Amino acid sequence: MAAPSNPYRVGEGGLIDRTRPLAFHFNGQRMQGYAGDTVASALIANGVSLIARSFKYHRPRGFLGSGLEDPNAMVEIRDGYGFDAAVRAGQVRLAAGMQVRSVSGWPSLNFDIGALAGYAAKFIKAGFYYKTFMWPNWHLYEPLIRRTTGFGRVDANARPHPRRQHHATCDVLIIGGGAAGIATASALGGSGLRVILADDQPQLGGSLLWSDIEIGGTSAAAWAGDRQAALDGAAAVQVLTDTVVTGAYEGNMFTLLQSFHTDGSPEAPGGIASECLWKLRAGSVVLATGSVERPLVFAGNDRPGVMLASAVRKYLAVHGVAPARELAVFTNNDAGYAAAFAALKAGVRVPAVIDVRDAPPKEFMQRLAAASVRCITGAEVIGTSGGRQLDGITVVPLGGGARQHIRCDGLALSGGATPLVHLTAHRGSKPVYKADVAAFVSGDLPEDWHAVGDACSPCSLSEALTQAHDAARAICRREGVAAPEFSPPDVAQTPGLPIQAHWRAGTGNPSDMFVDFQNDVTVQDIELAVLEGYVSVEHLKRYTTLGMGTDQGRTSNINGLAILAALTGRDMSEVGTTTFRPPYTAVRLGAIAGDRQGPLFRPERLIPAHALHVRAGAVFEDFGWQRPDWYRSNGADREAAVRAEMAAVRSTLGIFDGSPLGKIEISGPDAAAFLDRFYVSNLRTLKPGRIRYSVMTGEDGVIFDDGVVTCVDETLYLAGPTSAHADEVANRLERWRQTEWPELRVGIASVTSNWASFAVAGPRARTTLAALQPDFDVSNAAFPHMSYRAGRIDGIPVRVSRISFTGELQYEINVPARYGQGLMRRLMDISEPACGRLIGMEAWLRLRLEKGYLHVGSDTNGRTTPLDIGMARVVAGKHADFIGKRSLALAYAQSADREQLVGLRAESGQLRVGGRVLADGAMPPCRTEGYVTSACHSPTLGISIGLALIERGHSRLGERVRIFDSGTIVDAEICPPVFYDPENERLQA
Amino acid sequence: MRYSLKSLLVNGFRGNRHWTPAWRSPAPRARYDVVIIGGGGHGLATAYYLAREHGITNIAVLEKGWIGGGNTGRNTTNVRSDYMFPESAALYDFSLRLYERLAHDINYNIMLSQRGWLTLIHDHHQMESARHKANWLICNGVDGEIVERAGVARMLPLLNIDDNPRYPVLGAFLQRRGGTIRHDAVAWGYARAASRLGVDIIENCAVTGFERAGDAITAIETGRGRIAAGKIGVAVAGHSSVIADMAGFRLPVTSRCLQAMVSEPVKPILDHVVISPATGVYINQTQKGELVIGGMLDLYHSYGQRGTFPTIEKVLTAAVEMFPAFASMRLMRHWAGIVDIVPDSSPILGATPVSNMFINCGWGTGGFKAIPAGGFLLAHAIATGIPHPLAEAFALNRFRTNRLVDEGAAAGIAH
Amino acid sequence: MIVIRCPYCNELRHEEELEYGGEADVVRPDPGSADDIDWTDYLYMRTNTKGVHFEQWCCRAGCGQWFKVARHTVSHEITEVIPYDKKFAHQDRH
Amino acid sequence: MQSRSALTSVPMGDDLDIYEETGHAHVLCTAALDAGIIAAPLGRALGVDVPLAPGPVMVGEDRAAMWLSPRSWLIRLPEAAEDQVMQAVLARFPERTVHASRYSDQLCWLGIEGAASADLLAAGGFISLERDGLPIGHIKRTLFADVPVLIWRRAQSDWSVAVERSRAGYLAAWIARI
């Protein structure tokens, strides 16, 4: 099959590589472009001018711009690496094999049923939906409305583009690789400062690439090329092309998005091979982002074929594409003429240049005359003709007069330059209006920022180069380095004449004058908003959706608020602008997420014997650490396994991996006094080798954590916070030491991960410990309940605590983490003949429930105090202050109607966590008096038991209550919270 | 003029040249019976209910910028009433019930979309908490239910429900009446309704100071001159401490930055509001097709309405983890509001140490859903001088007795 | 993104390495003698300044030390960073 | 009980080599007083001077001392010397104004070498915001790939990264995916 032709490709020129054709598809039709094309330029070269249907009225739309400013050209693109539901065609470099589809128009782009909406236009102006769709309610209309909105469809199966992240710092960040940016970088080249120059295009140059001005005797484009080559050679300068600076944040932090593109071939995939999100911190910042051109507003200005003059120049000069055969120009400043000259040079016919100014620069007039192009001055375009493609325009003198019709299939618009000051706005700087250039320019710059070129204020090329040079000098001065010799090159540029602001052309139908092309906001919508009092610029934006599209209003904001200003008789600075929000241009969520997915989404913590638990059939759950919840080796399902595990502990032996339990060493002469200020219990009376349980509260008196404290000797204590709070407790101790009690001589060392910790619980716990042959006496007399021993096993240091969470005889054996797996294997071997089992979290928690031990976070909530869990006597018995003690004296802490922790025995049905205790007699909805905080069927007692926080619970032992749970009622009796071995005989044994 | 299909057609035929301002913008008078400081949803609703419920119409609402420009116009537009403590449940459900008929009350389409609020459950402990919550809500007379895993998969086809080792989905808590509202419409609708009842809405009018007599404030100094006031209502969210400081008292409030972000619009892909407290993200899709995404607060105290990137990164990473297909969607805009965080994440409603000043603040990250109730209850306090029964638990003095209503601790992150 | 040089480990730290600790110099009253008003003031009431705010930060991912910072809560400009035991130079309240 | 390491080695190609550094013991020294008072005697007990300022690692002939905070130091020493040093510190500071904690298993030390090592580190975070980066011979604590680490720059392209043992598996997976 013959290669499809490029009817709109000019004979020669451009930066494309005509030796490397790239085949792609648009709406299923095979087309061809060249390496160096964007999707937009390739489509235009192939004669595509209708690219989309507008959002609301489904009007035919063409390419207005050439890059990310284009409000119209949203297309779906599937490249060799991933998928984009909707992206601006001018922003995407063409690659072989790309599948490009238009995202609007049904059944087809050319014939769009939705265009009927045009006939209803007068009824669906700005904000119409606030005024109707109320009867009977919005839900009736919503599904229909939703279906009509949105660009493109997400492909659930598409691979995301590969991405990574990079962190860097530099002395100077230069944003924008146009004339001003290149000049600044060149001036800093030899300074030794580390410079990063970022530009969103594949090559530096910006508007120089399509400029006809000469710099230092060569063409602007050639100059840019030479400079880029020089910069690439400079050691301290890093040039990042295809890189957008997407956000500016405090501390001169920036986010950049760098794309890596491959052209592709029939063999190799093409497109965005990967993206890299940069986080960059810069010392000084040079804003050289340039400006974007504005269209002019007149009736029918949205017809395909109408295009920004700058876009015409770029398509011609960079891509060798002529967007039209007969191109008229409508301008209010000098830039329009450059488009005319570029078109003529490329052999495009220019029927006329229409300038609202009476006296444009003489030289321009002469050049046009020489090419026998009509220059109609002091005039404006008031209408366009044509269907889905422009075929002519209507021109009248300003202030009225004879209309004339001019045939053309293209119209280049130049309404003036809008500086790209988004990044200063990200930092909270408000743009200010400058009437002489009819533009909002950056206001107060953030510290160590410099704005140069059009980004500072629309200016001539030589002015831009001078500003760049000055900025470079200022930076060198600030950084204390010598400014290298560099003077701006000579520029051969005709002195221009000022712009003549012209915000709204003609007196035609305001509902045909488009301001925001993407959201179909017309002059009439703005008139309506003003009529209804939405005159704050933010109200206008929100009421009409002006500038809220994916183009972020680059071409529409200024025109819109100028028209608002005129309608409300205010000047531009009074009206002000809306705030530009980051990012500068849309960024894939995937690029920001990076590769933090699946196992890398959140750092997970593994216990030392993790691998062995896996082999033992553990089913893990994340408790801050990956911990065995139950073991498949103990039962077919969770319930069966949990029961088997509980039975093992009660009858013989259970082995529980408690490694995540906090281990904090508190040392020094004042260690006891220090710890005593955190725990509710009196710790000063704790003897060496002994262990005490206690709870810790916040300053508000609410329980924060619990655990055991071990006295190794008078100057060394071990605090054992819960695994969930281990780090937080260590941080809390350290904070109070530093900020409140620096005089106390105490050191705090968190060593949680240094130790693997296994609890052996059950009647055979002692023989099991003994079988490990520790170098100390494990007899009941020598090693009683709530005591601690440090020694060795096989010469390895061990720390053993005799404590109990289960109500059985229990030892907690700590060994250095590297030996954790070995210890676990030994314990399994020893206990095997006795049918010992590995115990998961669920069984462990149910065992402690039978024993009535508290589980912080389950049996306490955001307002539970020690008084509520039965520790009133401990609190009263402690004379020293502890954190939170004072709050326990506040009225509510003392009040009688608080929820207090009690036990529950079910008399009918099964208790479940979360059951609400009903106020006597009633059925829901009704008042409740508390809830079940822990519950299980107790195999040991053969009944369903639970713990509950119930109002005045401590005074209601023996009372029967009704509990509501998922539509059922459970009857239960309030009882003391200890269900198993209340005399503690078993754990003393 | 009344809004209806008819008025749209009539005005359409007449060239849309006869619409009238949604609200009047008069110059401030020298004195008002009541001055409301803050032209956001809460302030405008307060004025509306003062006029409608209590017949007080000599009211001014002072807004330092443009109405609805604070958190009302910056939030993620979620509404729900799945609060656990009976005091909170009663308050927020009252608010949701007012929202349910608001469009008709004020003749302005606020686009209440009760598409269902889904809180994802990622482990057994969360499942127990969710069951507790559902039970409690039913006891409180509020709807709430548990949806099993398969049901969640049906409701959220793009949810990564099989291959997420870190945060498996066991099910979800669902409040069917939860959903979204068009946020600007709430401010504009209340403003229009209040204005028609005689309320003066005064924009670009910043409060700069107070004139006092004894323990009362007699007049307000503003950028637009001195305004005498009988009673004063304060509804300025993140700026409550600033006004309190001018009035000579302190609040248990810290102002923090809460960020929100939208993607570029796509065709419908998410029919509900979904939140995953464990991963720290909540998402809904607007009528326009944009994904609206929010998450945790920025880390430090701030009045700068600009967010910080690490938060954006964490929130969007969580969104992509939960919905891998979102990786190819694009972040279009992110912004921030200043929210008023109090220790127990519950509002402060009613009297202040200044005898004729009443306050409505402390909604933290959940203010939007509470606008009708916040306005209604502040209006009651101003008009009657005593707290409405629904507001009794939320008085400022609860911090003196430590009788807090700690939804934060009970309900996880609330938005 | 907030960037502060830790006065203890002398490194430039960015906000992900730091922990914010709220208002600085909130004096803890003697629990023995403080009345309920003093105590609940200490627990809950904050100045929540809009402007230069005196606050605590911790070099969490670094040397773990708490220090004090004067920061503008609108511009986030940091005007003073001092070790915990020093007093702010420009602090009217001291 | 034989040893198990969280990570053996990750094949990375020829410009990057990553391995677990084993064969050292580590002791954490925590002071209950200002360092100035105890630094000298502590140095004698440890057999290596403890740095009083952040930054450079003090390297003795068979051991090294690293500044962690104004009151804590991490000491790297031969495994054989661990118990002797623990006893020496206790003997020198009977009131535990300095306390030595067993720390050999708390951290997993990864050696990262090769031309690509700097890029790998830059992918995980800002190793330093300082103009000159992290100087050779210095150690610092920071966040890397969202977890707290110690980073010791041994030479231009030779780094030791210490991560809490429980997170070593995660970090290995994170590195392996690059």
| Cβ-contact A452, A286 below 8 angstroms | yes
Return the closest-CA partner of residue A694 out of A727, A722, A654, A724.
A722
pLDDT at residue B408, rounded to an integer: 64
| Cβ-contact A89, A67 below 8 angstroms | no
Q: Which residue has 């809904």 as its token pair?
A: B284
**Which residues fall within 8 angstroms of residue A454, CB to CB, at 6 or more apart?**
A180, A290, A291, A417, A419, A420, A464
pLDDT at residue C91, rounded to an integer: 62
User: B400: nearest CA in chain C?
Assistant: C40
Q: Quick one: pLDDT band at residue B121, thresholds 50, 70, 90?
A: very high
pLDDT of B415 over the 70 cut: no
**CA B13: distance to chain centroid?**
38
Residues of C in contact with D128 (CB under 8 A): 11-12
Element spanning A745, H or E: none
Answer whether C20 sits within 8 Å of B304, measured CB to CB: no
Answer whether B19 sits within 8 Å of A528, measured CB to CB: yes
Q: If you average pLDDT over every residue of chain C, what do you get?
A: 94
> CA–CA separation, A159 vs A141, rounded Å?
34
Q: Which residue has 């402060």 as its token pair?
A: B348
pLDDT of A628 over the 80 cut: yes
| Cβ-contact B328, A160 below 8 angstroms | yes
pLDDT at residue D9, rounded to an integer: 52
Q: If you average pLDDT over every residue of chain B, what do you get?
A: 95
* Three-state secondary-structure class, residue B314: helix
> CA–CA separation, A69 vs A90, rounded Å?
9
pLDDT of D126 over the 60 cut: yes
Of A132, A151, A579, the CB nearest to B5: A132
Chains that touch C (3 or more CB pairs under 8 A): A, B, D
For helices A523-531 and A557-568, angle between their N-to-C axes, nearest 10 degrees: 40
The pLDDT > 90 percentage for chain D reads 87
B255 close contact with C: CB closer than 8 A: yes
pLDDT of A896 over the 90 cut: no
Strongest mean pLDDT among A295-299, A440-444, B408-412: A295-299
User: B338: nearest CA in chain C?
Assistant: C74
> CA–CA separation, B381 vs B360, rounded Å?
10
> Under the phi-then-psi rule, with left for phi > 0, alpha for psi from -120 to 50, and beta for the rest, what region is A138?
alpha
B140 close contact with A: CB closer than 8 A: yes
Instruction: Provide the CB-side half-sphere exposure for D30 (13 A, CA).
Output: 23
Residue A714 class from Cβ within 10 Å (0-12 exposed, 13-18 middle, 19+ buried)?
A: middle
pLDDT at residue B306, rounded to an integer: 87
pLDDT at residue B165, rounded to an integer: 73
Of B245, B255, B399, the CB nearest to C44: B399
| Cβ-contact A608, D4 below 8 angstroms | yes
| Cβ-contact D127, D172 below 8 angstroms | no
Q: Quick one: pLDDT band at residue A4, thresholds 50, 70, 90?
A: low
Question: How much is the average pLDDT of A335-362?
Answer: 97
Return the closest-CA partner of residue A787 out of A686, A872, A879.
A686
pLDDT at residue A2, rounded to an integer: 45
Residue A908 DSSP label: S
C17 close contact with D: CB closer than 8 A: yes
Report which residue type is found at A672: A
**CA D24: distance to chain centroid?**
11
Residues of B (200-219) whose Cβ lies below 8 Å from A: 203
| Cβ-contact A355, A376 below 8 angstroms | yes
Of C3, C62, C64, the CB nearest to D142: C62
Q: Per-residue b/e over A882-921, b at no fewer than 16 CB within 10 Å?
A: bbbbbbbebebbeeeebbbbbbbbbeeeebbbbbbbbeee
Report CA dihedral (A703, A709, A715, A716) to the nearest 10 degrees: -110
Residue A560 class from Cβ within 10 Å (0-12 exposed, 13-18 middle, 19+ buried)?
A: buried
Bond preceding residue A107 cis, omega within 30 of 0: yes
Of C1, C34, C56, the CB nearest to A886: C34
Instruction: Write the pLDDT tens digit of every residue in A302-331.
Output: 999 999 999 999 999 999 999 999 999 999
> CA–CA separation, A29 vs A662, rounded Å?
65
Residue A357 DSSP label: S
Instruction: Give φ, ψ of B115 to 5 degrees.
Output: -90, 0
Instruction: Write the pLDDT tens digit of every residue in B250-267.
Output: 999 999 999 999 999 999
Choice between D156 and D12, residue whose per-residue pLDDT is larger:
D156
Chains that touch A (3 or more CB pairs under 8 A): B, C, D
Residues of C in contact with D53 (CB under 8 A): 10
pLDDT of B409 over the 70 cut: no
Residue B30 class from Cβ within 10 Å (0-12 exposed, 13-18 middle, 19+ buried)?
A: exposed
Question: Tokens in use for A573?
Answer: 């600075």
Residues of A in contact with C21 (CB under 8 A): 735
pLDDT at residue A277, rounded to an integer: 98
The beta-strand segments (E) located in A623-689 are: 626-631, 654-657, 664-667
Residues of A in contact with D122 (CB under 8 A): 166-168
Q: If you average pLDDT over every residue of chain A, what do you get?
A: 95
Residues of A in contact with D101 (CB under 8 A): 665, 749, 751, 754
Answer whether D102 sits within 8 Å of A797, measured CB to CB: yes
Bond preceding residue A136 cis, omega within 30 of 0: yes
Residues of A (247-266) whose Cβ lies below 8 Å from C: 249-251, 253
pLDDT of D3 over the 60 cut: no
Answer whether A279 sits within 8 Å of D126, measured CB to CB: yes
Element spanning C68, H or E: strand C66-72
| Cβ-contact B298, B257 below 8 angstroms | yes
pLDDT of B411 over the 90 cut: no
**CA B139: distance to chain centroid?**
25
Residues of A (739-778) whose Cβ lies below 8 Å from C: 739-740, 742
Answer whether D167 sits within 8 Å of A755, measured CB to CB: no
> CA–CA separation, A619 vs A630, rounded Å?
5
B306 close contact with A: CB closer than 8 A: yes
Residues of D in contact with A166 (CB under 8 A): 119, 122-123
Give the range among A151-160, B36-45, D67-76, D107-116 with minimum mean pLDDT: A151-160
Instruction: Write the pLDDT tens digit of every residue in A819-854.
Output: 999 999 999 999 999 899 999 999 999 999 999 999
> CA–CA separation, A963 vs A918, rounded Å?
6
pLDDT of A933 over the 80 cut: yes
**CA A734: distance to chain centroid?**
33
The ipTM of this complex is 0.96
Element spanning A361, H or E: none
| Cβ-contact A33, A46 below 8 angstroms | yes
Residues of A in contact with B344 (CB under 8 A): 862
pLDDT at residue B413, rounded to an integer: 35
CA dist A808 to A653, A660, B85, Å? 9, 21, 38
